[in-house]
Amino acid sequence: MRRTRAALLGAAIALVSERGTANVPVSDIADVAGVSRQLVYLHYGDRDRLLLEAALDLARRELFEPWRAAPETATGRARSLALARHFAAHRGFYRAMFNSASAFALNREVSGLLSPLRSESIRARFGDVLPGRLDDDLAAFITGGFGAMVYLWVTEGRTRSTPRRWPTGSRRSAAC
């Protein structure tokens, strides 16, 4: 079952990235994964759910887990750069997904993955100074803003695919 799931998610990511659209037939995904169309529907219900799960699996594996495993000393700038590199590496896939019927759900779910991590970062930086749940609210605000920035960059931004380290002392490095 895990092998089937991994094959379907990998096939979905590969085909969407290759074709530049989320409008990939279920039969094509099933063929590339080496399974029947019925298995796709059995596991995911429909194509949109499969594509959303593929995007979330990618984000969990390459964003959430490494962020979680990063040492306490990792700076916000290093983490932000890692996020930018992830979206740059998978830009074609995310561009197609952000222009699909799953865009809102994808944005909500990725924000949901990252917001608790931002809350932890904010608590680590400010301690108990912030009143009530201000750390969670601030994390939601930052994560939402980051999500909007990624969306615009992935869907409408320049095509340079590898984020470079911004010069120390520049306005951009201070914002990260």
What angle separates helix 76-89 from helix 103-126, to the nearest 10 degrees?
160
* Average pLDDT per consecutive 10 residues, the chain (176 residues; last block may be shorter): 92 96 96 94 94 92 73 63 83 92 85 72 72 76 78 75 49 40
pTM of the model: 0.75
- Give how far the C-alpha of residue 87 lies from the chain's centroid of Cα atoms, to the nearest Å: 7
Write down the pLDDT at residue 95: 93
Write down the pLDDT at residue 60: 85
Write down the pLDDT at residue 67: 67
